[in-house]
C-alpha cells in the first residue's frame, strides 16, 4: 500500500557528545511524523527545538543514531533528492556569481526530467520575472540586498520544479512587500499541488499558507494537527472550555464529585482557566457540570488547530507529561 506521506521521519534520535566537559545533548528524541503529499505543513518550535537538525538529517548532512527517513514509503535516495527543493534560513549563495548564473548552475545540477536544456534560458527568465529580479539578472549575489537575496534563494529552490519544497524561515529579512510576495509564491505552489514543508517561527503566516502544523520542543513532537506515522495521536486537543474566576482545586473537586472525564490539558492565565479535550463529548460533559455548578463560562468552542493562542502554548519550556 502506498504511503499518504511524501516524506516521513521515523524514530529519529540524535545525541551530540562532542565536549568532554558538558553533558550529552539529546537533539532528536525518538522523533516521528509524516508530511502529507500535495499540501503545505508547518514545522514549528522554539530556537533549539531540533528543526534544523531534522532538516539536516533529511538531507543526509547529519547521520542519526537511530531511525530513518522515508520518501513515499521507501528509504530516501540520491535520486529522490533531485525532486526536493531547499531554501535555507540564511542566504549562502556564492557572492561572485550573478542571479542568472546561480539558476543556470541549479538546472545543470538537478537536470529536471520535464525541462530540456534548450528551454533553460526561458525558464530562468520566467523565474526571475516571477520574483522581481529580471532587471537584476546580471547583478552579482554579493551586491544584492537581503530581501533580494531571499527572493533569489526562492528562485533557486523551485526552478527545477521539485515535488517537495522545504522552506526554512522564508520570511526572514523581508519587508512587508517582500513578505506579501513570499506568501503569494507559497500559495502558487499550493495551487500546483506541490508538497511544502514550512519551517518557521512566524505563527501568523501559517494561517495563510498551511493545512496542518507540527510543533517540536527539545527534540520531541509535542503538538500535531495530524497523527504520527503509526496513526496514533500525538497531541490533538481541539475542544476547549474557558472559565473565569475558578481555581484548579475547585475544578478537581468538581471532577471527582461529578465523575467527569480527565481533561487533556489545563492552562491558566490571570483569572481565566482553559480545559482542553480531544473528544467533543468530554467537553460537553464539563460544560454542563460547570453551568450546573454556577461557574462563569466565558468560552466554549472547537479550535481550528492553527489558532495563535493554542499554538503558542506549545512553545517555550517543554510541557510535563
- pLDDT by 10s per residue, the chain, length 321: 567 899 999 999 999 887 666 778 888 999 999 999 999 999 998 888 889 899 999 988 999 999 999 999 999 998 999 999 999 988 888 999 999 999 999 999 999 988 999 999 999 999 999 999 999 999 999 999 988 999 999 999 999 999 999 999 898 878 888 899 999 999 999 998 899 999 988 888 888 898 889 999 889 998 887 644 344 444 566 788 999 999 999 999 999 999 999 998 888 877 889 898 888 999 999 999 999 999 999 999 887 666 676 677 677 654 433
- The reported pTM is 0.77
Contacts of 208 (CB under 8 A, 6+ apart): 183, 187
Distance between CA 33 and CA 235 in Å, rounded? 12
Residue 131: CB atoms within 10 Å:
21
Residue span(s) of the chain under CATH 3.40.50.300 come to 5-224
Across the chain, the runs of DSSP E, i.e. the strands, are: 5-16, 25-36, 40-45, 66-71, 74-75, 84-87, 164-168, 195-199, 212-217, 220-224, 239-244, 265-269, 272-277, 296-302
Residue span(s) of the chain under CATH 3.30.70.980 come to 239-302
Q: Give the CATH number of domain 5-224.
A: 3.40.50.300
**b/e sequence 12-22, b meaning 16+ C-beta within 10 Å:** bebeeeeeeee
Cell numbers 467537553 label which residue? 283
Strands lying side by side in the sheet with 239-244: 265-269, 272-277, 239-244, 296-302
Q: Identify the CATH homologous superfamily for domain 239-302.
A: YebC, transcriptional regulation domain (3.30.70.980)
Distance between CA 231 and CA 244 in Å, rounded? 36
Distance between CA 102 and CA 29 in Å, rounded? 37
3-state secondary structure of 299: strand
The pLDDT of residue 104 is 96
Q: Are 5 and 35 in contact (CB under 8 A)?
A: yes
| Pairing verdict, β 265-269 and 272-277 | antiparallel
66-114 residue pLDDT tens: 999 999 999 999 899 999 999 998 888 899 999 999 999 999 999 998 8
Distance between CA 235 and CA 228 in Å, rounded? 10
Instruction: Give the residue from 130, 143, 79 showing the smallest Cα distance to 103.
Output: 130
The pLDDT of residue 107 is 95
Amino acid at each position: 500500500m502506498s504511503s499518504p506521506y511524501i516524506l516521513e521521519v521515523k524514530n529519529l534520535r540524535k545525541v551530540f557528545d562532542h565536549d568532554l566537559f558538558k553533558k550529552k545533548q539529546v537533539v532528536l528524541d525518538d522523533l516521528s511524523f509524516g508530511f502529507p503529499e500535495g499540501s503545505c505543513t508547518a514545522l514549528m518550535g522554539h530556537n533549539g527545538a531540533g528543526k534544523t537538525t531534522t532538516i539536516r538529517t533529511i538531507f543526509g548532512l547529519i547521520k542519526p543514531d537511530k531511525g530513518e527517513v522515508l520518501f513515499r514509503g521507501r528509504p530516501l535516495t540520491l535520486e529522490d533528492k533531485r525532486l526536493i527543493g531547499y531554501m535555507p534560513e540564511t542566504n549562502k549563495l556564492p557572492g561572485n556569481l550573478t542571479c542568472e548564473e546561480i539558476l543556470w548552475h541549479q538546472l545543470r545540477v538537478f537536470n529536471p526530467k520535464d525541462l530540456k536544456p534548450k528551454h533553460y534560458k526561458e525558464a530562468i527568465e520566467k523565474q526571475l520575472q516571477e520574483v522581481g529580479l529580471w532587471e537584476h539578472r546580471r547583478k552579482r549575489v554579493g551586491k544584492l540586498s537581503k530581501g533580494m537575496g531571499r527572493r533569489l534563494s526562492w528562485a533557486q529552490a523551485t526552478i527545477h520544479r521539485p515535488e517537495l519544497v522545504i522552506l526554512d524561515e522564508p520570511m526572514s529579512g523581508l519587508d512587508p512587500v517582500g513578505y506579501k510576495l513570499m506568501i503569494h509564491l507559497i500559495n502558487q505552489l499550493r495551487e500546483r499541488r506541490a508538497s511544502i514543508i514550512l519551517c518557521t517561527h512566524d505563527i501568523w503566516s501559517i494561517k495563510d499558507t498551511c493545512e496542518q502544523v507540527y510543533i517540536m520542543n527539545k527534540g520531541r513532537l509535542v503538538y500535531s494537527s495530524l497523527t504520527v506515522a503509526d496513526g496514533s495521536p500525538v497531541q490533538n486537543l481541539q475542544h476547549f472550555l474557558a472559565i473565569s474566576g475558578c481555581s484548579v482545586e475547585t475544578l478537581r473537586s468538581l471532577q471527582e464529585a461529578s465523575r467527569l472525564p480527565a481533561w487533556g490539558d489545563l492552562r491558566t492565565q490571570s483569572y481565566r482557566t482553559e480545559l482542553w479535550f480531544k473528544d467533543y463529548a468530554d467537553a460537553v460533559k464539563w460544560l454542563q457540570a460547570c453551568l450546573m455548578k454556577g461557574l462563569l463560562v466565558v468560552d466554549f468552542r472547537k479550535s481550528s488547530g492553527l489558532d495563535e493562542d493554542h499554538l503558542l502554548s506549545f512553545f517555550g519550556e517543554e510541557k510535563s507529561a
